[in-house]
Amino acid sequence: MRTVRDIKVLENIPVLLRTSLNVPIVNGKVSNSFRLRKAIPTIAFLQKSGARVVLIGHIGEKGTETLLPVYQAMKEFIPGIQFCSVTVGKQAREAVRVLPAGGVLMLENLRRDTGEVMNDKKFAKELADLGDVFVEDSFDVCHRAHASVVGVPAILPSYAGFLVEEEVAQLSKALTPKHPAIAIIGGAKFFTKEPVIKKLLEEYDRVFVGGALGNDFTKAMGYSVGSSLVSGADPKAIKSLLGNKKLAVPLDAIVGESNSEESASHSATFDSIKDSEAILDDGPKTVAMLEKLIGNAKTVLWNGPLGNYEHGYVEATRAIALAIAKSSAYSVLGGGDTEAAIEDLNIRDSVSFISTGGGAMLDFLAKGTLPGLEALSRKF
């Protein structure tokens, strides 16, 4: 990949930088600045080179959210950063025109324009009109065929930022693991995880499926999962994977009467779950099994929580995070809740690499490439 190091002239050049600004907001403030901190090296390099840096990114899924809280948080890292309340058009062009060399401007949420998600050519052209060069540094959206991801690189000379470069290098390393190697895949939505599970079963010694994803496998094994979240996956696909000796599944669970954090919960074996109960977290026997596998591993890959993390069922996820931090294995982690657990426990320096991508990480591991990465290979 061509990277920002390959750009021959940057002095006073307007650079359109797609960066990761999609961070959690609580009570109007950024609650986790991990992605913002990871964005700084590329921004700082462009500033030092005298470029006029135009940050573009999105936040949320509705298309109505604002990047203003992100702008306020970025002031801590980039004094003098400016904000423009629109993304394209005359006002945006004027804001870029008056931006000084080394200056940084953040434009409003890309997804406020429907042309972003639709990969509308007109919207991509309006974005491209704001810069002479495009830099992709938002790995978390590189699996999306959106205007700012694949449309703009079709128009402007395009390069990878330092974060994207690092993501590709580290995730590529994870695809050729040192053995013994264990992969842990949690979260939900089997249809999005099936390709990566199949790929990892080829490369890893053990692949564990847990969290809500594990419920599909538990159900396919003939056990009741009560009122637990399941994906509605094709039973044949699940049973095919269950036939692989490398696959590991939960041994027990933490269950309760509902998915509410106020619910009284207890550990249970899968043959004792009532119809009114829901699986809320992986159980102590499962955690002990994973801790042993992690302790013996030379490579650990992990994406997705092992329980209903958002509703306070964090014990299994945190236990696995701590086990990885204590191990000497090369570790690659990703996914929003996984990342949150590492941040909450303040152990990020004890793991090898934390990916900024959730879905993008899984897609890259399954396919070895992404639409946003392929878009950077076009010649100008």
Three state DSSP letters for the chain:
CCEHHHCCCCCCCEEEEEECCCCCEECCEECCCHHHHHHHHHHHHHHHCCCEEEEECCCCCCCCCCCHHHHHHHCCCCCCCEEECCCCCHHHHHHHHCCCCCCEEEECCHHHCCCCCCCCHHHHHHHHCCCCEEEEECHHHCCCCCHHHHHHHHCCCEEECHHHHHHHHHHHHHCCCCCCEEEEECCCCHHHHHHHHHHHHHHCCEEEECHHHHHHHHHHCCCCCECCCCCCCCHHHHHHHHCCCCEECCCCEEEECCCCCCCCEEEECHHHCCCCCEEEEECHHHHHHHHHHHHHCCEEEEECCCECHHHCCCHHHHHHHHHHHHCCCEEEEECHHHHHHHHHHCCHHHCCEECCCCHHHHHHHHHCCCHHHHHHHCCC
Residue 262 has pLDDT above 80, yes or no: no
Q: Identify the CATH assignment for 4-166 out of 3.40.50.970, 3.90.1150.10, 3.40.50.1260, 3.40.50.300.
A: 3.40.50.1260
The more confidently predicted of residues 108 and 189 is 108
The more confidently predicted of residues 96 and 230 is 96
Residue 260 has pLDDT above 60, yes or no: no
Residue 98's Cβ-side half-sphere holds a number of Cα atoms within 13 Å equal to 8
Q: What pTM does this model have?
A: 0.91
C-alpha span between 224 and 274 (Å, rounded): 7
The per-residue pLDDT for 306 is: 92
Among 30-44, 121-135, 188-202, 256-270, where is mean pLDDT lowest? 256-270
The per-residue pLDDT for 379 is: 66
Residue 380 has pLDDT above 70, yes or no: no
The per-residue pLDDT for 309 is: 85
pLDDT band at 257 (very low <50, low <70, confident <90, very high): confident
Query: Across residues 52-62, what is the average pLDDT?
Result: 96
Residue 131 has pLDDT above 70, yes or no: yes
192-203 pLDDT per residue, tens: 899 999 999 999
C-alpha span between 187 and 212 (Å, rounded): 6
The per-residue pLDDT for 258 is: 60
Query: Across residues 264-292, what is the average pLDDT?
Result: 90
pLDDT band at 378 (very low <50, low <70, confident <90, very high): confident
**Structure token digits, residue 377:** 């290979």
The per-residue pLDDT for 305 is: 92
Among 66-70, 89-93, 263-267, 358-362, where is mean pLDDT lowest? 263-267
289-311 pLDDT per residue, tens: 999 999 999 999 999 999 888 88
74-101 pLDDT per residue, tens: 999 999 999 999 999 999 999 999 999 9
Residues of the chain with CATH 3.40.50.1260: 4-166, 175-346
pLDDT band at 22 (very low <50, low <70, confident <90, very high): very high
Instruction: Determine the CATH number of domain 175-346.
Output: 3.40.50.1260
Residue 1 has pLDDT above 90, yes or no: no
Residue 136 has pLDDT above 80, yes or no: yes
